[in-house]
Amino acid sequence: MNFDFTKTSEACVKCGKCIPSCTIHQINADEVTSPRGFLELAGAYQRGELELDKNAKDIFEKCFLCTTCVSICPTSLPTDIAIENIRRDIAEKFGIAWFKRAYFFLLRHRKMMDFSLSLGAYFLPLLFKIDREAQSMRARFWLPYINKRVFPILNKKSFLNSHEQFIQNAPDKSLKAAVFAGCFSNYHYTKTAESLLEILKALKINVLLPKKQRCCGASAFFTGDFKTVDTLIRANVEYFETFLDAVDAIIIPEATCAAMIKEDWERFMSEDIEMAKRIKKITAKVFMASEWLYKKTNLLEYLKSLNITQKERITYHDPCHARKVLKIFKEPRALLAENYELSEMSDPAQCCGFGGVTMQSEKFELAKMAVKPKIEMIKETGAKILSAECGACRMQLTNAIDKSGAEVKFKHPLELIAEIIRAKQT
């Protein structure tokens, strides 16, 4: 994927509309770390006036890739895409830290990933206290990088390895929905994907769980490891084509994976015209789970018919990849509002500050600062349950809630809907 930094940089009219809402600028009020500043530097880089030295690397790694600037900019200038491409050049020049390379290696080799995480699940209790109910764990004693943080748990068996490939819920065997679980739902927050199965069962929709699906490539993409992204997209496209005609939709309970597949895959492969065409055919059938359930099934009527109202107040956080990239925000709310009292934050679309692998490791101090206003907003709602259709937001927000001492639990919208269905069945 080649990107014209100069064209984008010159198209910026320097109006500054994007600056007040920029996630990094809010915590580091410097023109350099603002969308306008990033674009100026990107243009200078392409003109050969800026060397990608360690200082430049540090600056470009400070963007959260939240796309807030793109959604505000009058001409939707793709600051995020410019930064992703510069990170590729940075990765080529400086290399990628060993722990990220190890993680991306596992993402490229699913069987080894399955084995490693399963092994980890056996031994991690020695180092971590595990809370299966909250699907989180914290270190038992001081450890570098991870001290005092709450992490998603590992499961001995991944979600995909816990089920048959075909789950028949309808009397006939017609296939309906294939599930792309995403790494968070497959390995960590498996209750999300299990809840999706419960909902599809209640709606009598047959399910295909394609076992050879790979990571969508988002975490490698945001880190500049384009070789890994290329490998993962090609492998997934080959595999998706083997079942595409047999299903109505490929549904994804994770905003980041859905946005990566729907928006980034085709653009990433734009120079391989044949591959881009194949991706277009696939993405026409790809949906975020809440969107598909709301628009293409009778889930809303079904939930109405259950006539259950839960007393606990909930609040919904909009993942950036759902609201700003895919424009999905009404659908999960409509489904949840049927059975729960929904209390809105003052700005539910403000980025949670997850930011990706680099932000969660080498730049975690920034992620901690970025989430603070969000936690205050959550507390102000008085809600006891926070929901968001994204495992990355969940990881960032559960850690921040834990640190704040707020008595708020996190539940994915699909978990909340499945609880309603379960309540009726019992």
* Of residues 210 and 353, the one with the C-beta less far from ligand SF4: 353
> Closest approach of Cβ 89 to ligand SF4, in Å?
17
Which window, 63-71, 162-170, 200-208, 390-398, contacts ligand SF4 (CB under 6 A)? Answer: 63-71
Structure tokens at 389: 């259709």
> Closest approach of Cβ 370 to ligand SF4, in Å?
9
Residue type present at position 127 = L
Which window, 62-70, 172-180, 251-259, 404-412, contacts ligand SF4 (CB under 6 A)? Answer: 62-70
Structure tokens at 386: 């926070």
* Choice from 12, 96, 113, 150 touching ligand SF4 (CB under 6 A): 12
Under rule CB under 6 A, residue 371 binds ligand SF4:
no
* Choice from 43, 78, 80, 180 touching ligand SF4 (CB under 6 A): 80
Rounded to an integer, what distance in angstroms lies between the CA atom of residue 202 and that of residue 370?
39
> Closest approach of Cβ 15 to ligand SF4, in Å?
4
> Closest approach of Cβ 415 to ligand SF4, in Å?
28
| Phi-psi map region of 338: left, alpha, beta (phi>0 left; psi -120 to 50 alpha) | alpha
> Closest approach of Cβ 354 to ligand SF4, in Å?
11
Q: CB pairs under 8 A, 24+ apart, for 97-100?
A: 97/361, 97/362, 99/361, 100/223, 100/225, 100/357, 100/358, 100/361
From residue 180 to residue 219, the character string flagging contacts with ligand SF4 as x (rule: CB under 6 A) and all else as - is: ----------------------------------------
Which window, 73-81, 109-117, 232-240, 257-265, contacts ligand SF4 (CB under 6 A)? Answer: 73-81
* Of residues 253 and 355, the one with the C-beta less far from ligand SF4: 355
Query: How many of the other CB atoms lie within 10 Å of CB of 70?
Result: 20
> Closest approach of Cβ 363 to ligand SF4, in Å?
12
> Closest approach of Cβ 174 to ligand SF4, in Å?
42
Which window, 6-14, 44-52, 90-98, 229-237, contacts ligand SF4 (CB under 6 A)? Answer: 6-14
Rounded to an integer, what distance in angstroms lies between the CA atom of residue 323 and that of residue 215?
22
From residue 135 to residue 164, the character string flagging contacts with ligand SF4 as x (rule: CB under 6 A) and all else as - is: ------------------------------
* Of residues 21 and 387, the one with the C-beta less far from ligand SF4: 21
Rounded to an integer, what distance in angstroms lies between the CA atom of residue 16 and that of residue 34?
9
List residues bridging with 136 in a β-sheet.
131, 152
Which window, 72-80, 125-133, 258-266, 324-332, contacts ligand SF4 (CB under 6 A)? Answer: 72-80
Angle made by CA atoms 277, 331, 282, in degrees to the nearest 5: 15
* Choice from 10, 13, 277, 330 touching ligand SF4 (CB under 6 A): 13
Q: What is the DSSP letter of 160?
A: G
Q: Which residues contact 307 (CB under 8 A, 6 or more apart)?
A: none
From residue 17 to residue 46, the character string flagging contacts with ligand SF4 as x (rule: CB under 6 A) and all else as - is: xx---xxx----------xx-xx-------
Burial class (CB in 10 A: 0-12, 13-18, 19+), 74: exposed
> Closest approach of Cβ 320 to ligand SF4, in Å?
8
Under rule CB under 6 A, residue 91 binds ligand SF4:
no
Helical (H) or strand (E) element with 373: helix 364-381
Which window, 74-82, 179-187, 225-233, 327-335, contacts ligand SF4 (CB under 6 A)? Answer: 74-82
Under rule CB under 6 A, residue 392 binds ligand SF4:
no
Under rule CB under 6 A, residue 423 binds ligand SF4:
no
Asked if residue 187 lies in contact with residue 155, where contact means CB atoms within 8 angstroms, the answer is yes
The full DSSP string for 217-261 is SHHHHHHT-HHHHHHHHHHHHHHHTTTGGG-SEEEES-HHHHHII
Phi, psi of 269 (to 5 degrees): -100, 20
Q: How far is CA 106 from CA 114, 217, 226, 256, 366, in A?
A: 9, 12, 15, 19, 27
Q: How far is CA 270 from CA 122, 212, 259, 326, 373, in A?
A: 43, 25, 16, 20, 38
Number of residues that bind ligand SF4 (CB under 6 A): 26
* Choice from 41, 42, 56, 65 touching ligand SF4 (CB under 6 A): 65
> Closest approach of Cβ 77 to ligand SF4, in Å?
4
Give the interface with ligand SF4 as residue ranges (CB under 6 A): 12-18, 22-24, 35-36, 38-39, 63-69, 72-73, 77, 79-80
